[in-house]
Amino acid sequence: MRIERTQWDPAQNALEESLFHTANGYLGVRACPEEGAPAGVPSIRGTYINAFYDVKPIRYGEKLYGFPETQQGIVNLTDVQNLRLFLEDEVYEPLRAGEVLACRRTLDMERGLVTRFIRWRSPKGREVEVTVQRMASLAQRELFIMRYTVKSLNFSSRARLISREEGAVTNFADPNDPRVAGEALQHLRVEEVRPMESGGLIRSRTLASGLELAVAVGYALPAGFALSVEARPAALEARMEGSLEQGQSLTMTKYAVFADSRRHPDPAQAAPVILAQARALPVTHYETRQRELLEAFWLRSRVTVRGDEALQRSLDFSLYSLYCSAGRDAVSSLAAKGLSGEGYEGHYFWDTEIYVFPFFLMTDPALARGLLDYRHTILPAAREHARIMGHDRGALYPWRTIAGSECSGYFPSGSAQYHLSGDIAHAFLQYYYATDDLAYMAERGGEVLVETARLFLDAGHWHEGSFRIGAVTGPDEYSCVVDNNFYTNAGAQETMRGAAMITRRLMEAGLAGRLLAATGVTREELSAFLRAADAMYLPYDETLGIHAQDDGFLKLATLDLSAIPQEKFPLLLHYHPLWLYRHQVCKQADTVLAHFLYEDLADEDTMRRSYDYYERCTTHDSSLSACVFAIMAARLGDMDKAMDYFRRSATLDLDNAHGNTRDGIHTANMGGTWLGLVSGFGGLRVKADGLRLHPRLPGSWDSYSFPLCWRGSRLRVHVTDVGCRVEALGGEALTLRVYGQPVRVAPGQAAEVPLPREE
């Protein structure tokens, strides 16, 4: 399981910095050249901690009531990647001078290592091989390890390594791209630079949020090399010098520990302690633990496709990247770009709950629960956001955030996306259905469900006997501030029904004490939830036989997307928002997504007509779009179309299809890739009454398989051209529905279910 590049293309450098980054859910380091990129070569030097942020003001030409005044953004941290190699009077500069004889960069997804290998001939004829291995430890979240190996091929000389930790760093910016920060800012103030035995420490603090960071570094040197460490202005510099003989290989190991004040009461005290513990163990200890943890991950998570090696590699890359991006504590979640770059400024969106959460729910429920914990942690901020937006009760989760407050300054496609609260409620309900964990609902989930249901009850109104929600924006950001968005109303309906159901189950089980104390919810309020849900208005066009995206969408001017030049996509970068709002054009078709998530609201003919209609007006400018069309095409039996969309989703980052992977990987799309296979081709649905599968096999594949976890039991599903085999790997016996038929399996047993005749 590897991703490999054997040629260096200067134009692709920033892209490869994203693709070959190392991360562990807490810490992420971009794969920047240790010696620095040459002038004119795109490079975004970056190191990040999940949920470590600074605050900056939002500037408005005209500011109205309730507009967010500040936003949080992920902080570029102390740079520990700088390593310069000197061979006598020559500097190792493979990207600037001399001749690169061979090069290779590899991401090993079984070992959790990124390796950069270069064979180089200097201008004076010295030939050397340099191999750099990087690892963000999965066993010790604060630890980043670099192993720098130099091998002389045809010379003997003095060798000197200079390692520099730079504290005066800035964040990346592009004023012409709304998907990244518009202004390059320095967010860290260095407060202490302290040389220590075999290394040193840099202590910094964010300028506005006041969060503290401590970075401790230490070195393990080759025999005969001497080390000296000196403090520089806002930096540490370590010099290592010794002899390099012809044919000899020398390895220097650099340990860097990042500790922040959101997890450590005193980061400057914690970082040296963690560093000492790390250096007391051989590097092989961490390499072994990395391999063991990844072996367990792949065992419970890997989907396999027989008949398409390139697609398998893309699938592996997606799932590995998700595992390395997901926060493991209640203060962090999974950002839109993971920990690979600064796109969307490290913010968390609804993407996590709808596109990524299902993967973890069905493979690693404990990690999935941690993502829900984060949403419960920021529930007080969601309540406050609801008050700002004019609601006396309930919780409105922000469109984009890190610490809980709204970070979007453009409310039509930001705070107006009320569906966030429904998306988060949906994830809590899916967790309950898949785990039967009523205790978690008593502790946290029930409170989130009640508060989000209250939000929708307060946001809506009664009109002509139906319950309606006005002035919201659905997932399609090319249609903003609309009435009765189908996706939002469907999510609100599920939220209110789910809140009533969970509360009553807790009451019946005698577990409602904490929920009642935290929310004061009453039986009358639960009845109000159900009345509104039962009367929810879901726009439907009788003439077309489709669910309308909202009350006004089908009345807008149509648009011939084929007449728009390709260089004008994505449209949001080339057309004013109002121009987009006046046309039937979708960034992503949220009605099609609603038919996936809430499939019981429409019959198959309605789904098919809706799919065909919205496909004609969807640009897929959103990276979240192709996977949804793949899922629904498979659901409707159009396997060729499903495969076309699925490939688009699976290869998006490796092919840089959207042209912005330099800013980081697209984590939601990666989750969508898993959904495309498991929920699209596999027909997986998590329902209140159990687990359902309806697998189909694309014609170009020999077979595929995927593991699942359901209420503590482990399964593996194998799909071939004759049907489906469900194997129980552990846990208790369970019954699920395959092709609509009940199938019971017990540990150590398997059930063979033939493909239905109509398939």
Catalytic (active-site) positions? 477
Containing 383, the helix (H) or strand (E) segment is helix 379-388
Amino acid at the residue 250: L
User: Exposed, middle or buried by CB within 10 Å (0-12, 13-18, 19+), for 65?
Assistant: exposed
Separation of alpha carbons 181 and 198, rounded Å: 37
What's the CA gap between 650 and 636, in Å, rounded?
20
Instruction: Tell me how crowded residue 438 is: count the other CB atoms within 10 A of its CB.
Output: 17
Q: Across-strand partners of 205?
A: 189, 212
Query: From CA 738, how far away is CA 743, in angstroms rounded?
Result: 7
Amino acid at 260: D
Could you check whether the bond before residue 570 is cis, i.e. omega within 30 degrees of 0? Answer: yes
The two tokens of residue 328 are: 């493991």
Q: Where are the alpha helices (DSSP H) in 568-716?
A: 577-581, 590-597, 604-616, 625-635, 639-650, 667-675
Strand partners, 720: 723
The CA distance from 53 to 60, in Å, is: 22
Kind of pairing, strands 188-196 and 685-687? unpaired
d(CA 355, CA 626): 12
- What DSSP letter does each residue of 177-192 carry, written as one string? -TTS-SS----EEEEE
Classified as helix, coil or strand, 397 is: coil
SS3 31: coil
Helix locations, 535-603, DSSP H:
577-581, 590-597
Check residue 756 and report its DSSP letter.
Answer: P
Residues in Cβ contact with 269 at an 8 Å cutoff, skipping those fewer than 6 apart: none
206: enclosing H helix or E strand = strand 199-206
Strands (E), 46-110: 47-49, 53-57, 70-74, 79-87, 90-91, 99-108
Region label for 601, one of left (φ > 0), alpha (ψ between -120 and 50) or beta (otherwise): alpha
Among residues 728, 724, 719, which one has the least CA distance to residue 749?
728
Whether residue 337 contacts residue 346, with contact meaning beta carbons closer than 8 Å, is answered with yes
For residue 420, give the nearest of 468, 381, 367, 363 by alpha carbon. Answer: 381
Is the distance from CB of 546 to CB of 603 less than 8 angstroms?
no
Tell me the C-alpha distance between 664 and 421, whole Å. 26
Pairing of strands 734-738, 690-693: parallel
**Half-sphere exposure (CA, 13 Å, Cβ side) for 594?**
31
Burial class from Cβ neighbours inside 10 Å (0-12, 13-18, 19+) for residue 366 reads exposed
Question: Tokens 């709204």 belong to which residue?
Answer: 406
* Helix/strand/coil for 472: strand
Specify the residue for token string 């040296």: 272
**257 exposure class (CB count in 10 Å sphere: 0-12, 13-18, 19+):** buried
Q: Are strands 723-730 and 750-754 parallel, antiparallel or unpaired?
A: antiparallel
Q: How far is residue 20's CA from residue 2's CA, in Å, rounded to a whole number?
A: 11
Q: Tally the C-alpha atoms within 13 A of residue 378's C-alpha that lie toward its C-beta.
A: 28
The H or E element spanning position 322 is helix 309-325
Strand-by-strand arrangement of the 90-91 sheet: 90-91, 79-87, 157-166, 235-244, 226-232
